[in-house]
Amino acid sequence: MKVAIGSDHGGINIKEELKALMDEMGISYEDVGCDCTDSVDYPDYALPVAKKVVEKEVDRGILVCGTGIGMSIAANKVKGIRCALVHDTFSAKATREHNDTNILAMGERVIGPGLARDITKIWLETEFEGGRHATRVGKITNIEESHS
């Protein structure tokens, strides 16, 4: 599995923590930035991660900002992206099993690095269940096709 990861200035510490986690897990990743603590605009990092996912350059994406909200809104504007804002381990598992999410968003001002690591590990390791959930995800795709 290959992952694209990005953050704004509000999520850079957790981004570094998650890169260390992926090193431990033997998962390769591409960091699209940001790489300094100057104030930057989160859509500038959500877009390259989302594009890499839909263009199949990577399998999944991870985005971190202060709340995770801006990143998730921006990523979900890209056709083919199902980005979930997750701050608990139950949802991390459920959103892979049920929603087949391809980007995980989190907020560094909301949760700490330990929980962010647990959420990310679960999200990366959990498979989509398919079946009735595939029908529902297909209906999301239909909405995207008919309203874009």
- Which residue ranges make up the site for ligand RB5 (CB under 6 A)? 8, 10, 42, 65-67, 69-70
Nearer to ligand RB5, 27 or 103 (CB): 103
Question: Shortest CA distance to 127 belongs to which of 101, 105, 106, 104?
Answer: 101
Is 9 labeled as catalytic in the residue annotation? Answer: no
Q: Would you list the DSSP string of 38-103?
A: S---THHHHHHHHHHHHTTSSSEEEEEESSSHHHHHHHTTSTT--EEE--SHHHHHHHHHHH--SE
Active site residue 98: yes
* Active-site entry in 9, 87, 98, 133: 98
Cα separation, 115 vs 39, whole angstroms? 25
Least distance from C-beta 96 to ligand RB5, angstroms?
Answer: 23
* Residue from 65, 83, 87, 147 carrying the catalytic annotation: 65
Q: Please identify, using beta-carbon distances, which residue of 27 and 68 lies nearer to ligand RB5.
A: 68
Q: Which is nearer to ligand RB5, 7 or 27 (CB)?
A: 7
**Residues with a known catalytic role:** 65, 98
